[in-house]
Amino acid sequence: MSGNIPIMTLDGPAGAGKGTVSRAIANKLGWHYLDSGAIYRSLAVAVLDAGVALDDMDGIVNVANKMDLSFGSGDTPSVMLNGKIITDRITTETCGHITSQIAANGQVRQALLQKQREFCRSPGLVADGRDMGTVVFPEAQYKVFLTASAEERAQRRFKQLKEKGIDVSLIGLAKEIEERDRRDMERSVAPLKMADGAVLVDSSDMSIDDVIAQCLALLEA
């Protein structure tokens, strides 16, 4: 349990800007930051490396229970899995897809629950994901559901990948994002949905600074 440690949760679909916004808020407040997607993504990498099939849920849970995962600090923190840096491997679209499939299983989610809750330490936590306000930290005092139109999210991701020199088709990307959203929203365990008491922020026509300001205003409300 988090006791009286303050928590802000930011849930929402892929590409809504949760990572950028959450990191900025955590920096500003001097709070810890949990990128729960990175934990799920790291599990996907661990599963691939272990040669476990994506439909072997017992095998996946076993990998989850054994994986030794640690995060560095900074704007793009390095991710270390079983002694190897996997930072670049977890950011690919393919990894996002595999992750979304694995993450639909309840036993897998249960295996990662404690790892996520351990991030809640004084003086506070900003937690970014799909079920932060509904399942992992339902007791959070500040809850945001951050979204943006599917077109806008695809455009943003397209731009990010282009800047990294990765060539993808915008239409293909939009399709993949919609498919991942659907799977994350329609799964029976911990689906992506707005938590009770969450504030809806649609960032489609907002600057990052405005989104950050709107989230920070919750602390003063």
- Choice from 8, 10, 14, 108 touching ligand DC (CB under 6 A): 14
Residues 6+ apart with CB under 8 A from 31: 6, 8, 25, 123, 124, 125, 126
Tell whether residue 72 is among the known ligand binding residues. Answer: no
In a 10 Å sphere around its CB, with 0-12 CB exposed, 13-18 middle and 19+ buried, how is residue 70 labelled?
A: exposed
- Least Å from the CB of residue 121 to ligand DC: 18
Tell whether residue 18 is among the known ligand binding residues. Answer: yes
- Least Å from the CB of residue 203 to ligand DC: 15
Tokens for 77? 């923190």
- Choice from 16, 69, 103, 125 touching ligand DC (CB under 6 A): 103
Residue with Cβ nearer ligand DC (30 or 166): 166
- Should residue 89 be labelled a site residue for ligand DC when binding is judged by CB under 6 A? no
- Should residue 34 be labelled a site residue for ligand DC when binding is judged by CB under 6 A? no
- Least Å from the CB of residue 209 to ligand DC: 21
CB 10 within 8 A of CB 215: yes
CA distance 183 to 17: 19
Which residue lies nearest ligand DC, judged by its C-beta? 37
Q: Name the 3-class secondary structure at 64.
A: helix
- Should residue 131 be labelled a site residue for ligand DC when binding is judged by CB under 6 A? yes
Beta strand 125-129 with 32-35 is parallel
- Should residue 130 be labelled a site residue for ligand DC when binding is judged by CB under 6 A? yes
- Least Å from the CB of residue 34 to ligand DC: 9
- Should residue 40 be labelled a site residue for ligand DC when binding is judged by CB under 6 A? yes
Tokens for 92? 């690919």
- Go through 185-215 and write b for each residue having 16 or more CB atoms within 10 A of its CB, e for each that does not: eebeebebebbeebbebebeebeeeebbebb
Tokens for 155? 């455009």
Tell whether residue 14 is among the known ligand binding residues. Answer: yes
User: Segment contacting ligand DC (CB under 6 A): 2-10, 35-43, 80-88, 148-156?
Assistant: 35-43
Binding site for ligand DC (CB under 6 A): 14, 36-37, 40-41, 96, 99-100, 103, 129-131, 180, 184
